[in-house]
Amino acid sequence: MKDHPSIELIGSGGFGSVFLLKQYNPPMVMKENDHCPNSFDQQQELKILKDLMHENIVKYLDQPIDFEWKKNGNLIFMEYCEKGALKHVITNVQINYSIATIIAWGRDIFKALNFYKSDVYGAGLVLWEVIERKHFSTEVKTICFSPSDCLKVEKLQNLIIWCSCSKIDVEKRATAVQALEKIAYLEKCWTVL
């Protein structure tokens, strides 16, 4: 941006834009919601972000005291994730990660869900996307994985199915506590290598 050289547009969508504020250490992002027809939704998003304080969730940040912005959109400030959106990390074959890394991510996700007493269905779908390196869509009727010869990988796949398979009754799906216990076990198994 010409009038703000330390501000870089890094994304935009239907409701606004996201800017990297490089002048701060560490850098942060600013989300400008300038196209949202419902200000109540914007206020709800802001409230949820303020309440979600956990080490495994992107952090809401207060607007810096010295920051000025001349446009009229609602602003939300958050920590900067240098690898970008999770969807980019999942599908970008230039970014390498191992099953051990996926298990560590799963542990962090299930810790946060356990902390907030939340359902694990969505977490299982995210882990499926990470393993398969593709996006889950409404066209996918049930979770299935590419075949694996590794028993440890199959155990991780079975945990994800237990969390998110639509063929399993909701009452029989894993809870956040069960998923966290199982992934901790898998992490121990994987580090024995």
- What residue numbers does the annotated binding site for ATP cover? 31
Give Cα separations from 116 to 16, 156, 160 (angstroms).
28, 23, 19
Residue type, 45: E
Query: How far, in Å, CA of 2 to CA of 29, rounded?
Result: 18
Query: How far, in Å, CA of 89 to CA of 179, rounded?
Result: 23
Given strand 60-61, what is the order of strands in its sheet?
Answer: 7-13, 16-21, 28-33, 74-79, 60-61
> Which residues are part of a known binding site?
31
Query: How far, in Å, CA of 181 to CA of 155, rounded?
Result: 13
